[in-house]
């Protein structure tokens, strides 16, 4: 949520942001509703003052005037009740409208309509195309079936489409990747958290997933809770409704969670294999810092560097993309994706997403800090980024490390997490 004063004082700026983010928001209606809310507030306060005065007058008035003054007091009370009811309706409408208003993107962010307008920032490593292997290149699913480490059929039997089972060395590889990323974040000073993955709906709203992305979430309506699609939700909300001290900042957190996504808008897209699935595990990094755009930008670079360090350790070729305004989503000031090379797609596929929100999430969550110079509370800035997400990262790991005999070499960095295993070969019956 952005500052209502910004909507009131710079409506053209907010309208431009909504247009750049392809969002349909009635800014004029917000201004009108806000004006009505303030008018009601003024009238309410004036009537309360008159009510207090009338009470004193009644107490001092002669007996013959008390009836007339009491009747006037009754009219004031009735009007106050009407204002209360209308003010409740107006404030509810204003809040619902404000939940749809986008954050103002950074002027440096590329303006564009969709992912086709995203801008490549850099490439690291050399992509290995299908024809460059010197043998018949298999995709990750064929490799997984051949090696007995991926079982899609039984995953579908258990839980329906877009589900899977990792078994044997596949499950071990999955855990190895996550543990490698976890250890890297420990070495970089991030505080580990174990967090709930079933959260209150207020937290989904606070982090910006509701109301716009409700259809993408698994809902537990009976309990007013939702399964998270990322640990960003509980970790960012960890300090909600708190006032931190500036000296405590930045807060650097990392959490592992199972993530659940309905993929409601992905019918027919990426139905083969492990690219677009309903559940996965992710190591997520979250930064909470003071409200300083320069400091936010510094931490944005740092969390991207953390993710790149994992990919470099795994020796996977990737590229960093800056996401344009039309693709970055409602709450973000600036956003970068990391895409890892996947031979079966003959393209880079998104594996990481790094977002800077400024105070958008903090306002919704009432997450503040007390400034050291003034002592006044101010909303924090928040950022997050994937450290690693699996099993999607297994796609390039398996495909890029395959051998002519159908085995897969385990990257050196992962071998200590797999008991020294150097090659994954078919299971022996």
Which residues are part of the catalytic machinery?
261, 276, 350, 353, 392
Structure tokens at 50: 């008159």
Write the burial class of residue 45 (CB in 10 Å: 0-12 exposed, 13-18 middle, 19+ buried).
exposed
- Structure-block tokens of residue 295: 């400091």
Indicate the length of the chain as a whole number: 429
Cα distances from 278 to residues 218, 221, 373, 385, in angstroms, run 10, 19, 47, 20
Q: DSSP string spanning 313-376?
A: HTT--EEEEEPPHHHH-TT-SEEEEEEEEEGGGTEEEEEEEEEEEETHHHHHHT-EEE-TTT--
Give Cα 381 to chain centroid, integer Å.
13
**Given strand 347-358, what is the order of strands in its sheet?**
119-124, 318-322, 334-342, 347-358, 381-390, 279-289, 251-260, 191-193
What one-character DSSP code corresponds to residue 248?
G
> Can you spell out the DSSP letters for 113-133?
SSGGG-EEEEEES----GGGS
Tokens representing 122? 């850099």
CA gyration radius, the chain:
27
Q: Which residues, other chains included, contact 374 with Cβ-Cβ below 8 Å and sequence gap of 6+?
A: none
Does residue 367 contact residue 380 with C-beta atoms inside 8 Å?
yes
- Cα separation, 134 vs 132, in Å, equals 6
Shortest CA distance to 237 belongs to which of 195, 282, 279? 195
Please report the beta strands in 86-159, taking only residues with DSSP state E, as ranges in sequence order: 119-124, 150-151
CB 136 within 8 A of CB 403: no
């Amino acid at each position: 949520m952005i500052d209502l004063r910004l909507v009131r004082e710079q409506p053209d700026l907010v309208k431009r942001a909504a247009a750049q983010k392809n969002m349909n928001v009635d800014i004029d209606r917000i201004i009108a509703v806000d004006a009505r809310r303030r008018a009601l507030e003024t009238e309410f306060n004036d009537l309360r003052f008159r009510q207090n005065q009338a009470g004193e007058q009644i107490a001092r008035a002669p007996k013959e005037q008390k009836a007339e003054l009491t009747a006037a007091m009754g009219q004031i009370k009735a009007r106050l009740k009407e204002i209360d009811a209308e003010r409740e309706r107006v404030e509810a409408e204003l809040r619902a409208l404000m939940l749809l208003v986008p954050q103002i993107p950074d002027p440096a962010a590329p303006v564009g309509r969709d992912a086709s307008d995203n801008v490549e920032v850099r490439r690291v490593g050399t992509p290995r195309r299908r024809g460059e292997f010197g043998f018949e290149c298999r995709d990750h699913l064929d490799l997984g079936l051949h090696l007995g480490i991926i079982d899609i059929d039984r995953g579908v039997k258990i839980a329906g489409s877009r589900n899977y089972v990792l078994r044997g060395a596949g499950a071990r590889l999955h855990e190895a990747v996550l543990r490698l990323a976890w250890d890297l974040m420990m070495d970089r000073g991030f505080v580990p958290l174990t967090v709930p993955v079933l959260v209150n709906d207020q937290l989904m709203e606070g982090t910006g997933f509701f109301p716009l992305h409700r259809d993408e979430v698994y809902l537990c309506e009976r309990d007013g809770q939702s399964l998270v699609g990322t640990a960003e939700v509980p970790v960012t909300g960890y300090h909600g409704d708190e006032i931190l001290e500036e000296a405590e900042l930045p807060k650097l957190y990392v959490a592992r969670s199972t993530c659940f996504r309905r993929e409601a808008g992905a019918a027919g897209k990426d139905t083969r294999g492990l690219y677009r699935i309903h559940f996965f595990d992710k190591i997520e990094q979250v930064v909470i810092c003071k409200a300083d755009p320069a400091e936010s930008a510094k931490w944005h670079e740092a969390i991207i560097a953390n993710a790149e360090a994992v990919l470099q350790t795994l020796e996977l070729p990737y590229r960093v993309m800056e996401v344009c305004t039309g693709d970055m989503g409602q709450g973000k000031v600036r956003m970068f994706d990391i895409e890892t090379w996947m031979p079966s797609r003959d393209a880079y596929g998104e594996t990481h997403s790094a977002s800077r929100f400024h105070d958008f999430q903090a306002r919704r969550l009432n997450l503040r800090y007390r400034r050291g110079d003034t002592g006044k509370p101010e909303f924090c800035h928040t950022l997050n980024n994937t450290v690693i997400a699996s099993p999607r990262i297994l796609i390039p790991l398996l495909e890029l490390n395959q051998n002519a005999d159908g085995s897969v070499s385990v990257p050196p960095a992962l071998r200590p997490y797999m008991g020294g295993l150097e090659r994954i070969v078919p299971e022996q019956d």
